[in-house]
A and B are shown apart, each in its own frame.
Chain A
């Protein structure tokens, strides 16, 4: 707490610490690990071994899900003990993961086989598959629980499914090579196109792109706070900040090298970025855009998914 304040002073008067109890669960692909960081104190509170080069992450109260593409392994960890509660092998190229908490279904994309696995959130038992286009990567479930979206990287399009019936609603052409995507609090879907260096903004109830927003080089992940979208630009070592009303870039913030996974603190006041090359997290004030602090983490943090969980684990 004291450390936060000390570092933050002079950068911004409006700085507070992250919401009490927020923890970041950072998958480190090169280090075969997951580090848990207390965002208030900056301390590394747990270090788990996660074999198989983990990248994808999804969280819910009590459980953290990791996807290791090298060993094709999906794991469910108990967030309080780090015990592996369930584990399964997914034969293909598992990469992105998203949880439908309402229906207790977990979705994992198969990069190599144009499909999405559907699994029981508790046991990880396979329940079925969705057929999608080539190289599905990022997955997201809308906040209202109505939609599931998948970025089909090699098709330059996004698939939107009805989360209840699992019917394909729309296939939406976007920019070049969409990879990460996330739903904004207002329900719109934001897609990062790593090949065309822009975001496609989609109304999930429609099959059209509302807007295309040019951002930095290799936009990878997107998070929302303070009526703004924050986008990690992998090749530029920056965040682009997009005003959600005007859909214009209003600021650019320096990060570490290869910023990738990005998420929001539970109070919506901070943005947390995983820097893959630097083995660090950059924590940014969502209002002032100042960098509040930088935390060391494990080797090759990807944190591909929602990786910050508020409250007690």
Chain B
């Protein structure tokens, strides 16, 4: 019995790419913010181009089409030249509000254990000077069915997205300075 369920689990993981549209029962959300010394316009200069994610330490390169137009696409290569990739599409872009929203169209759950992922990046003025950068994500866990393996459960999805956001925001503080410093 135990053996059978393990076998089934293995099978189901193999099927995940074909089931990319399916998802688990509970959508998760993560919101991280950080504060920097630079003013919002300066921050937007750094993060506001959908085609340039070089500010994130995990991103090795980015290639894409259609700039910052709605439905613009990009493929992020992570780590190194032959690293894994994440394909994304821009679905909202507002330079006036200094915010944009995009979705992942293709990623292996071994790379980022999520499905149906969407994300929003916003730059706002900070009280007392500088800027607040907010990064939000909404997603389902990597495993679309009941009883997920630990590496593809809700906690794993939240931890992975939180890790990505934290690394990116930390790099921005490094680059743009902490307020009051």
Contacts and interface: CB of A to CB of B under 8 A. Distances in A.
Q: Are A and B physically bound partners?
A: yes
Interface of A: 29-30, 53, 55, 69-70, 92-93, 95, 111-112, 135, 154, 177, 195, 217, 235, 257-258, 276-277, 300
B158 to A, nearest CB: 10
Nearest to A302: B27
Contact of A300 (B29, B91, B103): B29
Nearest to A29: B26
A95 B25 contact: yes
B29 A277 contact: yes
B176 interface: no
A277 B136 contact: yes
Contacts of A70: 25-26
- Most chain B CB within 10 A, of A112, A258, A277, is at A277
Contact of A53 (B26, B103, B145, B146): B26
Contacts of A112: 145-146
A258 B22 contact: no
6 contacts: A30-B26, A53-B26, A55-B25, A55-B26, A277-B136, A300-B27
Nearest to A176: B21
A235 B26 contact: no
Given A93-B145, A135-B22, A257-B136, 11 more contacts: A29-B27, A30-B26, A30-B29, A92-B146, A95-B25, A112-B146, A235-B101, A235-B103, A235-B118, A276-B29, A277-B136
A70 B137 CA distance: 21
Interface in B71-107: 91, 101, 103
Contacts of A235: 91, 101, 103, 118
Contacts of B146: 92-93, 112
Contacts of B25: 53, 55, 69-70, 93, 95, 111
A29 B25 CA distance: 10
Contacts of B41: none
A69 B140 CA distance: 13
Question: Binding site of B, secondary structure by majority: helix, strand, loop or mixed?
Answer: strand
Interface in B19-35: 21-22, 25-29
A21 to B, nearest CB: 32
Nearest to A67: B25
A100 to B, nearest CB: 24
B138 interface: yes
A121 to B, nearest CB: 23
Contacts of A93: 25, 145-146
A173 B29 CA distance: 32
A154 B22 contact: yes
Contacts of B101: 235
Contacts of A55: 25-26
Nearest to B103: A235
Contact of B27 (A111, A195, A276): A276
Contacts of B136: 257, 277
Interface string B119-137: 0100000000000000010
Nearest to A135: B22
A257 B31 CA distance: 13
B138 A217 contact: no
Contacts of A195: 21
Contacts of B145: 93, 112
Contact of B138 (A69, A135, A177, A258): A258
Contacts of A30: 26, 28-29
B26 A69 contact: yes
A112 B144 CA distance: 9
Contacts of B120: 257
Given A112-B145, A217-B91, A235-B118, A277 B26 contact: no
Contacts of A177: 21
Contacts of A217: 91
Given A93-B146, A112-B145, A277 B21 contact: no
- Considering residues B22, B136, B145, which has the most beta carbons from chain A within 10 angstroms of its beta carbon? B22
B11 to A, nearest CB: 15
